[in-house]
Structures are given as C-alpha cells and as structure tokens.
C-alpha cells in the first residue's frame, strides 16, 4: 500500500502475525494501552461483551495447565512417565511469549444481545489489540484451535456457561522479521450493487 495512506490504513496493511519473541518483559502500562485499544471496539447496543485474562511470568501456568488438561483428557493408556512428559510439553506452549492474553466473549445480560453479535464484537476487540500492539512496535499472534473450545480449557479459566474464549494472543518484542503477506485482489471478492 502507498506510504501516503493514513496511519491506521498503513497499520492494517503492515501488521503481520509474529510467532517468535525475545525473552523480554512487556511493561504493564503498555499492556494496559493494548487493553484500552481493545475496549474501543464496536459492539451492538454498546454491550462491550469482552473480558481479558493477562498472563505473564508464572501466571502463564493457567493456560499451560489448560493445555495439559485438554491433551490428557484426550489421551489414554499412558504410563505415569508419559503423562508427566505430555503435561510438561503442553504447559511449555504457554511460555512461548512473555505475555499471553486470553480474550473472552462475555455476553451482556441484555435481552437485545445476540450471541453471534457478541462474539463478533469480542473478536473486533482482539483485532484492535493486535493493531495497537503493531503500532507500539510489539509482535503478536492470534492463536486459536480446538483446545480453546474444549470444556477443560473453559474450566481452567472458570468461564460461565455462556462465555467462550475467542483468542489467545501471544505477544512480546519480536524475534523474527515479519513474513511477506499476500492477499487476493479484494475486488475479486466484491460485488457492487449500484
């Protein structure tokens, strides 16, 4: 995209998923800025249906234990040694970045709230957070996958029955160069009705 674009359009075009991070902490006030950016996402009826769990240091064990509980609930016939090795491997996944933020869709107690709209708003908050991280020179990646939806992970984060995790955002100071991204021509995916 052209360098003459407004900053927000440039950030949208240049942001990339970063999956490798330096072993350096991210200052709490920077994380707060990211959360504040997330909180400006649009939501139907201004329900603001999101909440976040920020994990740093040993706090990342909450996610690690969730990964381990999911993996072990789906494994059978393992020896005690294999169980311990699998638990250790799964817990390590939560320590791939100095900060991991669980983004949770927490639907409002509003009769006008529609579940799909609440989820979309929480996901928009994640995009805001990713763009803010990029703008502050941090790297981030939106991780998801089957463990995020598993009952054992929901239990690890003590979610209400109507809540769901919409993202695990791994972030920190990048330890890789962003990969070149390619996108299809958006006009090939657009219909104009005049």
Residue 107 within a domain: yes
Contact of 151 with 161, CB cutoff 8 Å: no
Encode pLDDT of 48-98 as tens digits.
999 999 999 999 999 999 999 999 999 889 999 999 999 999 999 999 999
What is the pLDDT of the chain when averaged over all its residues? 94
Residue 2 within a domain: no
pLDDT attached to residue 4: 55
pLDDT at 2 over 70: no
Q: What's the predicted TM-score (pTM) here?
A: 0.91
183, exposed or middle or buried, with CB in 10 Å at 0-12, 13-18, 19+? Answer: exposed
Count of CA atoms in the C-beta half-sphere (13 A) of 134: 22
CATH of the domain at 162: 3.40.109.10
- pLDDT bracket for residue 181 (50, 70, 90): confident
Residue 119 within a domain: yes
Least confident of 64-78, 93-107, 120-134, 172-186: 172-186
Residue 64 within a domain: yes
Query: Between residues 111 and 180, which one has the greater pLDDT?
Result: 111
- Host domain of residue 158: 7-189
Residue 1 within a domain: no
pLDDT at 148 over 80: yes
Number of domains the chain contains: 1
pLDDT attached to residue 6: 61
- pLDDT bracket for residue 149 (50, 70, 90): very high
Residue 194 within a domain: no
Question: Which residues make up each annotated binding site for FMN?
Answer: 15-17, 44, 142-144
Residue 161 within a domain: yes
What proportion of the chain, given as a percentage, has pLDDT over 90?
87
pLDDT at 10 over 70: yes
Question: Which residues make up each annotated binding site?
Answer: 15-17, 44, 142-144
pLDDT at 193 over 80: yes
Q: How far is CA 191 from CA 13, 182, 183, 184, 188, in A?
A: 22, 21, 18, 15, 8
Residue 103 within a domain: yes
Contacts (Cβ under 8 Å, ≥6 apart) of 41: 50, 121, 122, 124, 125, 127, 128
């Amino acid at each position: 995209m052209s360098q003459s674009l407004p900053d927000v359009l440039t950030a949208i075009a240049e942001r990339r998923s970063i999956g490798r991070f330096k072993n350096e902490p991210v200052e709490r006030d920077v994380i707060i800025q990211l959360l504040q950016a997330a909180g400006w996402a649009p939501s139907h009826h201004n329900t603001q249906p999101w909440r976040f769990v920020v994990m740093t240091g040993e706090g990342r064990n909450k996610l690690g234990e969730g990964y381990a509980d999911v993996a072990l609930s789906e494994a059978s016939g393992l020896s005690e040694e294999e169980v311990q090795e699998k638990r250790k491997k799964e817990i390590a996944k939560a320590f791939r970045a100095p900060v991991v933020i669980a983004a949770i869709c927490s639907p409002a107690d509003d009769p006008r709230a529609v579940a799909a709209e609440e989820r979309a708003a929480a996901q928009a908050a994640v995009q805001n957070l990713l763009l803010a991280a990029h703008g502050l020179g941090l790297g981030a990646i939106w991780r998801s996958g089957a463990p995020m939806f598993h009952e054992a992970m929901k239990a690890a984060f003590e979610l209400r029955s109507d809540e769901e995790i919409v993202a695990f955002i791994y972030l920190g100071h990048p330890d890789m160069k962003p990969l070149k991204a390619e996108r299809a021509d958006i006009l090939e995916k657009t219909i104009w009705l005049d």
